[in-house]
Structure 1
C-alpha cells in the first residue's frame, strides 16, 4: 500500500466530528471570503507536509513522522470519543473517569497539535529568521519544523505542562454550534479579554479546544494567576456553568483568530464569524486581539 501524500496537521477523526448530517464539512476560507462544502480529508492538510527525505540516510522511512502521528491519533480518537459520550450523558459537576495513561496520551496529543500545524511552522520560520537562520526553501522549513517536533525534551516539557493543567469540559445546548479551524488549539489571556498567538509561550494563557459542535475543553495552567485560584477543584469535571449563545460566539471567535485560513463547521452560515473578523483590523494574523 502506497504511503499517503496528503498529510493532515489537524486529524481527520477530529474534523469528522464537525460534519453535517451528510458527513460533510462547511468551510469558510477566511482569506478569500468563500464558503464551500467538502470532506474532512480535504481540509487542514498539505502534500508531503511531514515527509523528510533526509531520514533515508539514517535508515528510516521518510514517512516516519506521519506514521507516529497516526498512532497517537488512534489513541486520542478513542479517548476523546469516550469523553464526548460521558459529557453528553452527564450533568454539571460530574467527574469524568481519567486514568493516568489517558491523561498522558491526551497531554502529548494536545502539545503536538499546537506545534504541528502550518501556522506553527510559519511562526517558527519567522522566529528563526529573527535569530539569524533563514529558511530558504520549503524543505528547509520542513526540516526546521521537524527538529522542534522531534525535540523530546521540549515536547515532553510541554506535554507535562498540559498534563498539570486543570481540565474542564462544557456542554453546549444552544442553537449555535462550536466551530473549529485548521489551527484549533486556542489560547486566551487569564482575564479572558484577548486571544493570543502563540499562547503556549505565555504563563497565564489557558487553552480553549472545541471537541465537537456541542462540547468544548478548557485547560487552565497550574501557574501564574491560576495557581492561587480555586479552578483546580474542577479538574476533569463537567462545568457547572451553562453555555449561552454569547459564550459560544466568543469561543468561536478564537477559531477565526487562530486559523491560518480555514474555519470549519457543521452549518453553512458563518455570518457571526465574518463579523468578528471585521473587528480584528487589517491584519487578521496579529499576535493578539481584544474582545
Structure 2
C-alpha cells in the first residue's frame, strides 16, 4: 500500500461524525465566505504535513509521526464511539464508564490535537521567531520545529496529565441546530464564559470545549483556579443535567469560528449564526471575542 500523501491534522474518523446522510460534510471557508460540500478526507489536511525526510538519514521512516497518529486515532475512535452511544442512550446525570487506561489515551489525544494543527504550527513558528529569533528557511525546517514539540515527551505528558485531572462533562444536544466543528476543533473558554482564547493566552481557569458529534459535546474543567473550590468535580464523567438550548448551541459553535484556521464544518448547510459571529469579531479585532 502506498504511503498516504494527504496527512490529516484533524482525524478522518472524527470528521466523519459530522457528515450528513450522504456521508458528506458542509464546509464554510471563513476567509472567502464560501460554502461547499465535500468528503472528510478532503479537509483539515495538507500534503505531507508530517513527513520528516531527515529521519531517513538515521534509518527511520519519514512518515513515523503520521503512523503514530494513526495508531492513536484507532484507539480514540473506538473509545469515543462508545461514549457517543452511552450519552445518546443515557439520561442527565448518568455516569460513563471510564477505565484509567481510556482516560490516559484520551488525555494524550486531546493534548496532541491542540498542538498538531496547521494553526498550532503557525503559532509555534511565529513564537519561535519572536522569542528566540529562529527563522525557518524552508518547509522542512517548519516541519522539524513542529515535530520537536509533538515529540517532546515531557511537554506532552505534562499537558496530558493536566487534561486527565480535569472534570470531564458531556452534554447532549437535542435541538435542531447541530454542533459544528472546524480544522482546529479544540476550543478554550474563560471561566466567566465570556470569551474564547487561543492556547498561548490560556489562564488557569480556562476550560476545554470539544464537540464530539453534532449532538454531543465534551467539556474539560481544570482542577485549579476557580474550579478547584467549585462543585464541578462531582459531575466527572457524567452526562450534564443541563439541557442544551439553541442559544447555547450557537454559543458553543462560535468557538469553532474563532479557532478555525479556515474551515468551519457542519452536517448542515447553515452557517448564518457563524457568519454573524465572525462579522462581530472582525469589526473590532482588539476586543476579546465574547460569547454571551
> Shared fold by TM > 0.5?
yes
Aligned structure 1 segments of 4 or more residues deviating by more than 3 angstroms: none
- Unaligned 5+ segments in structure 1 are none
Count of aligned pairs between the two proteins: 290
Corresponding residue for residue 37 of structure 1:
37
Corresponding residue for residue 114 of structure 2:
114
Q: Quote the Cα distance in structure 2 between the aligned partners of 1:61 and 1:265.
A: 35
Contact 2:281 2:287 in 1 (8 A): no
Structure 1 residues 207-218: aligned runs within 5 Å: 207-218=208-219
The secondary structure found in structure 2 opposite 1:290 is coil
Which string of whole-angstrom CA distances, capped at 9 and with x for unpartnered residues, describes residues 4-46 of structure 1? 0000000000000000000000000110100000000000000
Corresponding residue for residue 268 of structure 2:
267
Corresponding residue for residue 59 of structure 1:
59
Q: CA deviation at 1:86?
A: 0.1
Segment drifting more, 192-201 vs 35-44: 192-201
Structure 1 residues 125-136: aligned runs within 5 Å: 125-131=125-131, 132-136=133-137
The secondary structure found in structure 2 opposite 1:222 is coil
Corresponding residue for residue 98 of structure 1:
98
User: Does 1:74 pair with 2:74?
Assistant: yes
Q: Quote the Cα distance in structure 2 between the aligned partners of 1:287 and 1:97.
A: 41
User: Does 1:89 pair with 2:89?
Assistant: yes
Contact 1:199 1:205 in 2 (8 A): no
User: Does 1:4 pair with 2:4?
Assistant: yes
Corresponding residue for residue 186 of structure 2:
185
Which string of whole-angstrom CA distances, capped at 9 and with x for unpartnered residues, describes residues 57-113 of structure 1? 121100000000000000000000000000000000000000000000000000000
Q: Quote the Cα distance in structure 2 between the aligned partners of 1:57 and 1:282.
A: 50
Q: Quote the Cα distance in structure 2 between the aligned partners of 1:200 and 1:88.
A: 34
- Unaligned 5+ segments in structure 2 are none
Q: CA deviation at 1:145?
A: 0.4
Instruction: From the superposition, tell whether residues 125 and 67 of structure 1 become closer, same or farther in structure 2 (CA, over 3 Å).
Output: same
Contact 2:95 2:238 in 1 (8 A): yes
Q: Quote the Cα distance in structure 2 between the aligned partners of 1:158 and 1:251.
A: 23
Q: Quote the Cα distance in structure 2 between the aligned partners of 1:40 and 1:63.
A: 21
Instruction: From the superposition, tell whether residues 144 and 283 of structure 1 become closer, same or farther in structure 2 (CA, over 3 Å).
Output: farther
The secondary structure found in structure 1 opposite 2:196 is strand
Q: CA deviation at 1:204?
A: 1.1
Contact 1:6 1:46 in 2 (8 A): yes
